[in-house]
């Protein structure tokens, strides 16, 4: 792997940051990590970052909002979105605010039901080897997608009309 050149001055760091931001948006934390990998002193990195923030080239709140909306369109649940934002080094306060504003609890359950309705045939196609295997797989699928356990259970119950106690049916 080719070793990258260390950054020495503020002008070079600013050029590097603008080059990076020209390719895709970055968070403050991700830019600081890029600077650290290029051996830029922390005081210069902070100065460059403050210039970028002042010129509105870097905004973690806007980044988080667009990330949430994009991943919601890909059927990601709030837990998976939260982890994705953590990996992008977005501050926890911004993550909490953005998810609270963009992802109400009722909306999570509704979206889980819609996703499971679209994927229902995938689970019905497979033959059950053990009783309840389909519903377990559907529940695991939703949890892997980042939905809470309560929203996943609600979706499985609604989509598969699952009754955990088949002997207690009211006729």
- pTM reported for the whole predicted model: 0.78
Residues 39 and 7: their CA atoms lie apart, in Å, by 6
Residue 171 lies in a domain: no
pLDDT at 162: 55
**Where do we find the tokens 């990258």?**
4
Residues 54 and 132: their CA atoms lie apart, in Å, by 56
Domain around 118 = 105-161
Identify the band that residue 127 occupies on the pLDDT scale cut at 50, 70 and 90: confident
List the one residue out of 69, 63, 1, 51 whose CA is nearest residue 27.
63
Q: Which residues contact 88 (CB under 8 A, 6 or more apart)?
A: 27, 29, 30, 63, 67
Q: Does 111 share its domain with 96?
A: no
pLDDT at 128: 77
Average the pLDDT over 1-16 and give the result. Answer: 82
pLDDT at 3: 67
3-state secondary structure of 32: helix
Residue 77 lies in a domain: yes
- Say if residue 2's pLDDT is above 70: no
List the one residue out of 13, 17, 105, 25 whose CA is nearest residue 64.
25
Residue 4 lies in a domain: no
pLDDT at 1: 57
Residues 78 and 104: their CA atoms lie apart, in Å, by 10
Residue 84 lies in a domain: yes
Higher pLDDT, residue 138 or 103: 138
Residue 109 lies in a domain: yes
Residues 139 and 143: their CA atoms lie apart, in Å, by 6
pLDDT at 20: 94
Q: Does 120 share its domain with 152?
A: yes
Mean of the per-residue pLDDT values for the chain? Answer: 87
pLDDT at 96: 93
Percentage of residues in the chain with pLDDT exceeding 90? 54
């Amino acid at each position: 792997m080719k070793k990258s050149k260390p950054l020495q001055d503020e002008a070079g760091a600013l050029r590097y940051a603008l080059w990076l931001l020209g390719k895709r948006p970055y968070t403050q934390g991700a830019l600081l990590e890029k600077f650290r990998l290029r051996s830029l002193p922390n005081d210069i990195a902070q100065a460059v970052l403050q210039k970028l923030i002042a010129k509105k080239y870097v905004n973690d709140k806007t980044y988080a909002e667009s990330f949430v909306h994009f991943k919601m369109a890909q059927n990601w649940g709030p837990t998976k979105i939260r982890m994705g934002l953590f990996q992008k080094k977005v501050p926890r306060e911004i993550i909490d605010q953005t998810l609270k504003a963009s992802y109400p609890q009722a909306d999570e359950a509704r979206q889980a039901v819609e996703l499971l309705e679209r994927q229902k045939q995938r689970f019905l196609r497979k033959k059950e080897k053990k009783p309840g295997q389909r519903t377990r797989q559907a529940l695991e699928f939703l949890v892997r997608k980042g939905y809470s356990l309560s929203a996943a259970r609600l979706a499985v119950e609604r989509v598969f009309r699952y009754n955990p106690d088949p002997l207690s049916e009211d006729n």
